[in-house]
Amino acid sequence: MFDVSFSELMLIGVIALIVIGPERLPKVARTVGHLLGRAQRYVNEVKSDIQKEMDLKEIGDIKNQMEDAARSVQSSMTSSVEDLKSAVNQPTQVVQDSLDEARKALDVKKDD
């Protein structure tokens, strides 16, 4: 986190020994250690929460992309099915029209 050299730590330790005194220094050092540990854990939790939120956002983006791709595939399949239906119905209609004309011609000949 901070760049603190060994000589700076020693200077801080000597000043703390003078200010706090040798009787209370171990207790204060333990308390400072616990507080720094808590702060470090809190920072790590915040980092992991931020990472989770970023991951959720990425997953949501991927989900949206997949839904768009699925809609695109569905629309292309629908248009392909419609094209196939029209390709099948057109010759069938031509054959049906030819049969209707033939029936009419036969009916006209029977009546004569």
Cβ 54 vs Cβ 66: under 8 Å: no
Cβ 20 vs Cβ 28: under 8 Å: yes
pLDDT of residue 103: 84
Instruction: Give the dihedral sign, CA 18/21/22/25.
Output: negative
Quickly tell me which residue has 């997949």 as its tokens: 66
Question: Is the pTM higher than 0.85?
Answer: no
Q: What are the per-10-residue average pLDDT scores of the chain (112 residues)?
A: 78 88 89 94 95 93 94 92 86 84 78 62
- How does 56-73 read in b/e, with b if 16+ C-beta sit within 10 Å? eeeeeeeeeeeeeeeeee
